[in-house]
Every structure is written in structure tokens, then in C-alpha cells.
Structure 1
């Protein structure tokens, strides 16, 4: 028992000491000082609103097509005996070069034969003209001879009447007269036939000339020449191959003569309306659509034609853009048929328009403005959203400060601090 009481007393002493220390620490503590928290308005970055004229650009996509492409085909049948060395897919061709030719040996012989017939017909006409001159001279002699024999006949008839000439002599003179008259008649008949004979000779010449022209035309059709500077799109023939009329042997298209058909949504046509007034041709900037980061060259162009009907499936207005020329050294970046391009059509110009970034909009039609160090939540009139820009025509004034800093829990009229250029945040 004495040991138990001793331990109990020890525990009680320790507890009393601990309680005493705790009370001393509680009453000897320092009281904290109260500080008033100062309310600091949030600091915001602002950009000034600037109005001006803006071009309403419309974006569309399309595929490049050749403006002038030709399917090559022979008009006559034959065996191909010549193909230009550059007549292969992707190669450049020059105007006037012979691209394809069929065997011309038979055609050359036909042309020579027709030329000989023309020469022969012309010789026949010259011969007939000379014969006409000869007949004219013969007719003069025949007239003189007839005149002399007529006088001789009259003289012999007078002599025979007075019995100074025999019947035999008179008959002989009459026979000479009839012979001279017959000769004159033959010459006259021949002269009467000259116009008909000349017409026949000229008809023969015309026929020979037509045959010669046909032979030369067939000779010309035996080869195909390039009518323009361009490129070979396809080649479908080899040397020695027999071809028929109308058979497609290849396709070529003209250099620097490319178009692109685009389709403009009907709701975007409102931005192009005045651009077509008085025969206007809106300018277009074209880039290769699948080249990102500005690596594509920019080609100039113009809208040259609006199609006659709206596309019923897509409800878009088809237009044709004529692509201008651009000197591009890299052959991989040349515009070629089939390339998918992006077209930016310059539309009408709007005046007194504010163009702001989409990131500044707090809602589809709301901006945060800074006025007299207070926040103003402003409704604005948005007429268009295009790419990363928003076009505003109402609710803003030039010089208004548009807040671009984030403001969670923003309230209209709340105080703010506008950060100026060069200030530290």
C-alpha cells in the first residue's frame, strides 16, 4: 500500500505541474494584431478600338482545271511512224511542233498525181487558147479565100453566059467556091465550140485543183501539230501502232491557261454583291490548299464567270476563276491540273468597320470595355465572323479600350486598373 500511494502521489504532482505550465503559457501569449485587407482592383491589358475600311474576303476551295485542253486524234487511218521526243506525260511542248505523224508515202504519191493532173489541165487550156488564135487567123484567110472564089465564080458565069468559058471550067470554079465556103463554115463551127471546150477544160482544171487540195489536206491531216505552248497530260500511242480516225492518242493542255471552279455558299454572296457591278471581276488570291505554314506561292486571279444555275445539292453558286501567271522556280510548286487550291475572293469594301480578334469576344455579341477605370460590359453589332476576326459596325467608338485580359466573375461597373505600355503587371 505505501508504494501504491507513492506512485499515485507522483502522478498527481506531474499532472499539477503540467496544468500549471499550460496555464502560464496561455495567459502569457501575445495577442495577434488585426490588419485591414485593402481591396486592389484587377489589372487588365487593353487594346484600342480602331475603325476603318475592310475588304469582305470570301474563302472557297476548288480543283485546278486546264482552260484549253485538246484530245489528240488523227482524222485519217494509218500507221504511226513518228512521235516527237518530248511527247510524253509531263513534258513541255512548243507551238508549231509536229507531235505525231502517220506514214505519208501513199499520200505523197497522191499529191504528186494530183499536181500532174493540174499541170496537164492548165496545158490543155493554154493549147485551146492557142487553137482559138489559130482559128481566128484561119477564119480571116477563109473569108479572103471565099471572097476571091466568089468573084472568080461571078467572072466565069459572065464568060460562060457569053460562051467565052466552057461548062467544065465553070463547074471547077463553082467547086472551088463551095470548097472555100465549106472551109469557112468548118472554121466558124470550130470557133462556136471554143467556149464550151474552154468550159470543159476549166472544169477539168477545177476538178484537178480540188483533187490536189484534197491530197494536200490529207497530207496535212497525216500529222498533228501543237497549236499552243503547253504540257502533255497523257500519251496513249507508240511508234508503229495503227490508228483509226477519232482514236484518242493523247491529251495536251495550254501553258499558263488554268482555271478553277469554286462554289460560294449563298449566305456569303452578300459580301460579293457590289464587286460584280459594271462588269467587275473580283480579284482572287490562290494558294495550294494542303501546304501549311505559308510555304505555298500565291497566284493572282480573277472571277471571270458566274455559272447559270445554283448547285441544287450543295446550294452554292458556282463560279470560274481565271488564274494569272506566276514565275515559280520550284517545279514541285507549279500549278497543274488536279491541284486542290484555296481561293480568297476580294468582295465589297465596308466603311467604318471595327475588326477585332475573336479572342476578345466574351460572348457572340459582347465585349469588355475599360472606361474611367471601370469595367463596361457592352453589347455590339456583329455583321460577320471570318477566320480569326470579327467585324463590328455598332456599339463601339474609335478609341474605346477593349479588355483582353481574362476577368473571372466580371461585373458591369466593377473597378479595374488599366495597364499601360511599359508598366509591370
Structure 2
């Protein structure tokens, strides 16, 4: 009993000592420091937005066709008597070369006959003119005789009236005058026929001259001369072969220029058209002259390349016209481009000539125009990451005008001087602190791409 009482007395003392020890330990321990938790500062590449010279581009595709094609056909019937040795498919011949002749014997005979007919008609005219001159002289003499007869008749009539001459003498003189009058009238009537006879002969001469000209023209048409420097396409005849008028002889392709009807998607045409200084009045497009002037004023550059070729050669072209309609199947419009001197500067194995049928790409470039341009990689679902004045992230929606390759043209939402992030950013949290890195190389690369000078 005494043992239990003893334990009951010491137990509260032990508990009190333990509590006092714990309190002392807590009071003697240093206070816990609280640290503010936040995301680390992100290092990003940024680009200062500015208006830079920008060339709108679009690419169309089409086949090479010679600007000038001669489908030579025979204009006369005859046998082929001569063919130039180089008049073969793929051959090249200079302007003025006589490449083919048709047998001329029949046409020479016809020409000689026409010349003989002309000479005969001219001779007949000279003979008639000589006869006319003789008739005029005879008429003059007859008229003079008539005048003398009339004078004699008058003298005799005076004598008869004075009764110094017999009446029958007057009758004789009157008879003479009647004969002289008849002779004058006959000669005058004959002379009047010469005008119609000469007109008829002159008509024959004109007809004969036409026949001579026609025969000479036909004779000229038996010889085919190249009107321009040309490469030869298909040749359809051979020496000794008979050819009918209208028959195909050969095909000649001009080498001075080629044309490419580059098919360009209609939706790619709008950005190009947006570079025009003034939008044309649709009513003016009804006049073809105005449309052609608009195309000329458009002043697009055109760079032609061979598709699938290892060569990096470029030919400078010129937009000369638009096709007459839109292709409803492909929804494309034809942009016809001309390239001058496609055979100049040929380097075997490096720069081939632009031959008929080659498949080419045509890159159309507008003249430089200042636009607000950013790289496509800075765009995130029509939003960009903009650096605020406090160097924090601001997510801003924008409106695009159009995109081109690795660049996009901004219509609304950005202004010059804004800084946008061009590098990857994870996580994307608005207001996050940023450390900026501006690269001049990126800016120069964008400017080069905007002008179409990127590699």
C-alpha cells in the first residue's frame, strides 16, 4: 500500500518535468523560413516586328512551247525536186535558207505562155494605135476636101444665080459635096471605134499581166525559204515525192522566244494582285486593251526553272497575257510567260536550252512593297507570343493577310516595334518572366526570304 502511494506522488512530477522539457525545446528551436515559389525566368529568342520590303510570290507550272511555229504546207501541186540536207527533225537552220523546192517546169511553161499572151496584146494595142493615127490623118484630109468642095459649091451657086453658069454644074458640085460628106462621116465612124477597140485590148493586157503575175507568184511558191532562225520539227516529205496543194511539208520552231502557259491556282493569284498600286475598275476589264495595259503595269518578274532537272539554271521571263478562261477542273488560270533567247548561254550538262515540251515551274514575284511580316514559326493558331513592357509573356490574337512559304503577312493585331517570340516556349503561361535574346541573323534571314533571296 505504501508502494502504490509513493508512485502516485512521483508520477505528476515526472509528467510536469517532461512537459517543461518539451516547451524548452520548442522555444529554443529556430523559426522555419518561408520561400516564395515561382517559375524560373525563361530565355527566349525574340524578333522586333517591322515593315520590310516584301515580294509576293506564286508558282505556276506549264510546258514550253515555241512563240513562233511554222506549219509549212505546199501551195502548189508538184514533185519535190530538192530538200536541204539539214532539213531533218531536230536540225537548226538560219533565216533565209532555201530548204525545199518543187519541180518548176510546168509553172515556167505557164509563165512563158502568159508572157507571150501579154506581148501579143501589147503588140495589138500598138497596131491599133498606129491605125488610129492613120485614120485621123485620113479624116483630116477628107475634112479639108469637104471644106474645099463646100467653097466650090458656094462659088458655083453664085454664078448660077447670076446666070453665068449652067444649072447642071450646080448639081454636079452638090453631088461632089455629098460624096465628100459621106467620106468624112465614114472616116469619123471608123475613128470612133478605135476607143472601144483600145479599151478591149487594154483589158486583155491587164488580164495578161495578171496571168503573168500569178504565174510568177506560183513559180516563187515552188521554193520554200525559212522566214526566221528555226529548229526543225517533223518533216513530212522526201525528195521525188509528189505533193498536193495544202499538203504538210515540215514544221519549223522559232528560236528567238518561247512561251509557257503556267497554270496558277486562282487562290494564289489574289496575293499577287494585292501588290498592284491601284485596283482596276471591273467595268474596264471588259475592254481587252485595258486588260492588257493592266497586265503590263503589273510588272511581275517571272523566274523559269526546269522541273526535275539537277540544273539550278534560271531564265528570266515576262508575263505577256492571261489565258481566256479559268480551268474549272484544276481551278487554275493560265499566266502566259515569254522567255527571249532561250538557246543563249547553253552549257552542256549544266544549262540546257528550253526545248518544246519541257515541264517548267514559273515563279512570279511582285515588286517589293513594305509589309508587316513575321516568320511562320512564331504563329500559334492565329496567336503570337508578345513580350510585354515588363518582359513578361503576353498572348495576342492576330489577323493574317496571307502566308507565303515560311513567312506570314500580318493584317491586324501587331504593330511595328512589338517584340515576338520565335523560339519554342514550354510551358506557355501568360505573365511568365522572360529573358530576351535578339538575333540579327534571324532578322536578316527573314528580310532575305521576304525578297525571295533565300537559298
The alignment's TM-score, normalised by the length of structure 2, stands at 0.71
Shift of 1:84: 3.0
Aligned counterpart in structure 2 of residue 381 of structure 1, from 388, 391, 399: 399
Shift of 1:348: 7.9
Root mean square deviation of aligned Cα:
3.8
Q: In the aligned structure 2, how far is the partner of 1:421 from the partner of 1:339?
A: 43
Shift of 1:324: 4.1
Q: In the aligned structure 2, how far is the partner of 1:421 from the partner of 1:387?
A: 21
| Aligned 1:300-315 pairs, distance under 5 A | 300-302=317-319, 304-315=320-331
The corresponding residue for 2:284 is: none
The answer to whether the 8 Å contact 2:304/2:317 transfers is no
Deviations 1:361-382 (A, max 9, x none): 3x33233344444344433322
Shift of 1:133: 1.2
The corresponding residue for 2:357 is: 338
The corresponding residue for 1:43 is: 43
The answer to whether the 8 Å contact 1:56/1:346 transfers is yes
Question: Residues 150 and 417 of structure 1: is their aligned pair in 2 closer, same or farther, counting only changes over 3 Å?
Answer: closer
Q: Is the partner of 1:59 in helix, strand or coil?
A: strand
Question: Residues 319 and 156 of structure 1: is their aligned pair in 2 closer, same or farther, counting only changes over 3 Å?
Answer: same
Question: Residues 401 and 177 of structure 1: is their aligned pair in 2 closer, same or farther, counting only changes over 3 Å?
Answer: closer
The corresponding residue for 1:322 is: 338
| Aligned 1:26-425 pairs, distance under 5 A | 41-147=41-147, 183-273=183-273, 275=276, 277=280, 279-281=293-295, 282=298, 283-290=300-307, 295-302=312-319, 304-325=320-341, 327-330=344-347, 333-347=352-366, 351-356=370-375, 358-361=376-379, 363-371=380-388, 372-419=390-437
Q: In the aligned structure 1, how far is the partner of 2:322 from the partner of 2:438?
A: 51
Q: Is the partner of 1:192 in helix, strand or coil?
A: helix
Shift of 1:40: 5.5
Q: Is the partner of 1:137 in helix, strand or coil?
A: helix
Shift of 1:135: 1.1
Shift of 1:150: 6.6
Q: Is the partner of 1:138 in helix, strand or coil?
A: helix
The answer to whether the 8 Å contact 1:55/1:348 transfers is yes
Question: Residues 138 and 398 of structure 1: is their aligned pair in 2 closer, same or farther, counting only changes over 3 Å?
Answer: same
Question: Residues 192 and 419 of structure 1: is their aligned pair in 2 closer, same or farther, counting only changes over 3 Å?
Answer: closer
Unaligned runs of 5+ in 2: 1-34, 281-289, 441-455
Deviations 1:193-224 (A, max 9, x none): 11121112112111211211221121122222
Moved more, 98-107 or 304-313: 304-313
Q: In the aligned structure 1, how far is the partner of 2:418 from the partner of 2:56?
A: 23
Q: In the aligned structure 2, how far is the partner of 1:187 from the partner of 1:118?
A: 30
Deviations 1:214-269 (A, max 9, x none): 21121122222333333323222222111111111112233333222233333233
Deviations 1:165-211 (A, max 9, x none): 9x9x9999999877756654442232121112111211211121121
Deviations 1:361-411 (A, max 9, x none): 3x3323334444434443332222222222223333334443333334333
The answer to whether the 8 Å contact 2:47/2:438 transfers is no
Aligned residues: 381
Question: Residues 175 and 46 of structure 1: is their aligned pair in 2 closer, same or farther, counting only changes over 3 Å?
Answer: same
Question: Residues 293 and 114 of structure 1: is their aligned pair in 2 closer, same or farther, counting only changes over 3 Å?
Answer: closer
Q: In the aligned structure 2, how far is the partner of 1:150 from the partner of 1:192?
A: 24
Q: Is the partner of 1:127 in helix, strand or coil?
A: helix
